[in-house]
Structure 1
Amino acid sequence: MSASKDPVESTDTTEIADDATETDETDELTRDDIFHVLQCRRRRLVLKYLQEHDTPVKMTDITEKIAAVEHDTTVAALKSQERQRVYIALYQSHLPKLDEEGIIQYQQNRGIVERTERTDAFDRYLDEEPSMRDDDATEPQPADAERDEGAQDTGADDHAWSPLALGGAGFGLALGGAGFGLALAALLGAMVPGSPVPLGVSVAIAAVTAVALVAAGVAGKFRREE
């Protein structure tokens, strides 16, 4: 009498293969999934930031850079309201959505964002977005520095020829010119017979006038050399 064997449940290898294929297809993002994510520019900028930075990164850094790009300014020049609007949108909507789809890893309690294997699928679509690197220039460029030096030189010249200096020199020259004219008239008059102005007085006036002219010239030269 032959011994009967218990029936052994056979494994359907075809069914296992089908399940594995279905799982692989589920792990891959479809084109519709990718385009749905890319419809929102803030999501594109998040992915662009992750593309250009070594992760993990701070969510606040992403927020500030996106706000600066949206307002065409620098991170340092951002207003608090501009930061806050972007922060709320990323915190409540975009980052949790990307994390749910497995496109990023978002630790909301720590404010940390990281890339995943799925993030690579979006890199090819981000070329048209602006760079998200921290390239805000705070130091003046060489051309700006040259313009500043030129402005300082101009200011120095303006100080040397200030209105006060020009007015003082002009007044001194005018006074000296008038005195010289009076002295010359007195000198010529003294040479005329019967003139009431003595010759010695005319000579003294001429000498004082000459001293005034020399003093005015020295003062003007001193102002230019300052």
Structure 2
Amino acid sequence: MKAMILAAGRGERMRPLTDTFPKPLLEVGGTPLIGWHLRRLAEVGVTDVVINHAWLGSMIEERLGDGSAYGVRIQYSAEETALETAGGIAKALPLLGDEPFAVINGDIFTDYDFAKLEITAQKLGENLGHLVMVKKADYPTGRDLAIDAQGKARLCKEGDQAMTFAGVAVYRPAFFADIVAGQAAALLPSFMRSMEKSQLQAESFSGLWLDVGTVERLNQANAWAIDQRRGMIT
């Protein structure tokens, strides 16, 4: 299968670090944040990777090149201005092919088992997508979601365990059929369309996960990376 890593964001909350440096290249444990994803994808045999970029995108291409240093083959989907998540994926569809593909946010740090992505792709059935979710964090994240008894994603209701989309997913290309390529589009409306049709399945993940959206969380990711290499986190 192919995978896409989202790397077009401006990283406003990381300023001034991201004024002159793209967020995906900020280092965590001596490795670019995006490099952790590339290496872990390569380890499980997912070697065809698409990366979108907008802000300082030429620096991303210069640093990562063709991906061979990480054991993958990278194709780039350049955006003149960031198209938001759904818009960026829709623009990259010609590079992703006709089969289900994985999408990973470039600004998360996680030990989620990427080997599960291909298994998930093979078991989508009639679903258009599959979301990995985590329990709601103690800092602001996206819209609260939940998982129903049938394993389908839905908007969080009273009494539900509030969860957050973890930025790891598998989609069929048809998930983005309503998005006009080249136009900016957020991801939540696409989620809601698929949830209304009960075509978006989900799973709960309780392992290591962090939205690296602030300098403080970048420092936390660095600490975790060091602990991992010392064998303190498994």
**Shorter-chain TM-score: what band?**
under 0.3
Q: Pick the structure with more helix per residue.
A: 1
Q: TM-score, normalised by structure 2?
A: 0.19
User: Which structure has the larger Rg over C-alpha atoms?
Assistant: 1
Q: Pick the structure with more strand per residue.
A: 2
Greater relative contact order, per chain length (Cα 8 Å cut-off, separation 6+): 2
